[in-house]
Structure 1
Amino acid sequence: MSSKQHKVRVGISVGDFNGIGPEIIMKALNDKSITDFFTPIIFASGKLFTYQKNIFKLQQTFNYINEVSEAQGGKINMVNLWKDNVNVELGKPTEESTKMAVDSLEAATAALLNNEIDVLVTAPINKDEMMKQGFAHAGHTGYLEEKAGKKGLMFLVTDDLKVAVSTHHIPVSQVASSISKESIKKQIKLLNQCLIEDFQIQKPKIAVLGLNPHAGDGGQIGREEIEIIQPAIAEIFDNGIMAFGPFPADSYFQPEKYRNYDAVLAMYHDQGLAPFKTLAYADGVNYTAGLPFIRTSPDHGVAYDIAGQNIADEQSFREAIFAAVKIFKNRSEYQTLMESRLKPKRAAADNGVDEDLPKDSAR
């Protein structure tokens, strides 16, 4: 079956169920035709979702299964991880909701690594509460990097705005010491390859932001641009990657500027995510780029303040699902094309002999 015919198996982790995770999952899957496009597999609790779908007055049925292999096309499948009753306290994290967020993520990731699902879409988690209970990472990205055994790149995407960040969840006081010429070069290369393989952009143009106000003002407001960022861009450009900058962050995100580039690499979390969420909040998707598997999520958090009020907007979560499906198909198509490339044979100019044959056979 070709990648275009394959119905992608979308694994979904539940996040913190006292936030808006279950609500946006169910709303995003509420269209009866949704399973024509992919096969959803939620890692959660049947009793939890039955309770919450009644709150939101949703008419959904789930195919409850014990193993991922039992999932069926045309149905909303749920791996029933917890058989006991669930104590729901909408609007605040609890030890139980935090533990289930971890369990769901670990079960879904295991299925991803075992090729039982094709992509992973994660509902929002409470990072602080998870770390208090022993989770070793400040978010999904670090956890998935550990499982993949390689560094990824936090990449926020819409159709016309794509923002990656060089440093992830670290204090602002550590940002300057955490960037280096080599790390920026690796990130630009990774971003370039991601745009080619996952978004089918043949010759990407990548903008890179400066770290300091006004991109350092020629060294008057910091020298990281002169000593680190600009040399990295220059070396990458000389190697054939279309990277430009560093640009001042305060003026880059004007529409007539950012639309001239296929993606931007910001130096730290809020430098990239604050303008992204302002410009593209409802449609934004968080994609962990550069890993051997595909993971997306909505670009918002657990939203305890509106949990249970039936007003959470599922658009970003729906976009995360369809982005994961599209990236999977793009990447599969790219890999197929690379595997089937014709390798030209070297032939002798004067006698047509195939020079790849052993010398004694060319007679």
Structure 2
Amino acid sequence: MSTSTSATTPATTAVSLSYADAGVDMVAGDALVDAIKPYAKRTMREGVMAGIGGFGAMFEISKKYKEPVLVSGTDGVGTKLKLAFHLNRHDTVGIDLVAMSVNDILVQGAEPLFFLDYFACGKLDVATATDVIKGVAFGCEQAGCALIGGETAEMPSMYPEGEYDLAGFAVGAVEKSKIIDGSKIAPGDVILGLASSGIHSNGFSLVRKIIEVAKPDLNADFHGRSLADALIAPTRIYVKPLLALMASLEVKGMAHITGGGLVENVPRVLGDKLTAILNSAAWDMPPLFKWLQQHGGVADAEMHRVFNCGIGMVVIVAADIAEAAMAQLTAAGETVYNIGSIRARAGDEHQTQVI
């Protein structure tokens, strides 16, 4: 009579498997932590109690706040990463990652306090990951916040070879009485536009489609730098000059121009009865956006809905302090334009009108 082995009976094998055999290199993970510690250390600030290496990062809120309100934000870099993979350029996407979160919490008046990152890949390349996290640390330095923690996840078969994904999380604080929520915005207020550094981190699915159709030489000269450099330029971080502005003048509202472009982001800080009138002639659309529009045949309305078109941050102030605000921001190194004004909304019209 023949015998059979039960499905529950463990199979014997001469193979001795390890985590490394499954594709996870713990030695590489430890090497990455060691490599990034000096860069994280440069971002330390008052309040950090425990940072890189622990199970949790601890931060003590400064006693300067009487009624502190925590403001948090999280984001990624999107398909701009695909361009980074194509160019094999990984030193600036970390800046993008920080910028997307800190600029978002800034518009509510919050000072960014600390940042955590999440780096996920199929197989960890220590050199590439170090470049990315160095960029994160540099972005934190620009924002004045501490890089106090993060996670590196090596997940075999989850990502194509050589690719990774990024996510970030920022926490800031604002005095409860100084929260900026747009409630003070009124007809007659002035809209200031702070210049972007390029495309920032939105609209890259369309950018990549335009590149696919136009087939440009990415190494060709483009207004004094390569087209690749123009496309991959990191998102501008507006934290320090705008915190200084808020400390000296009343800022009624701000909008970070991200996904949705100018026409979808400005209404996020407006009451239902207000409309923003933007004068497109008030600033020159940078050459890169003109190139994208020309080679993609993109309509004006679509440009304004997808891209920042040269304006990365909008600041709304009373008309009588607009010049002083522009002067202060210019002295801080920003390029600033008076791009429009606020008026009463007519019926159910869209809350941003670009004329």
Could you say which TM-score interval applies, normalised by the shorter chain? Answer: under 0.3
Structure ranking higher in strand proportion: 2
Under a length normalisation based on structure 2, what TM-score does the superposition of the two structures give?
A: 0.25
Under a length normalisation based on structure 1, what TM-score does the superposition of the two structures give?
A: 0.25
Structure ranking higher in helix proportion: 1
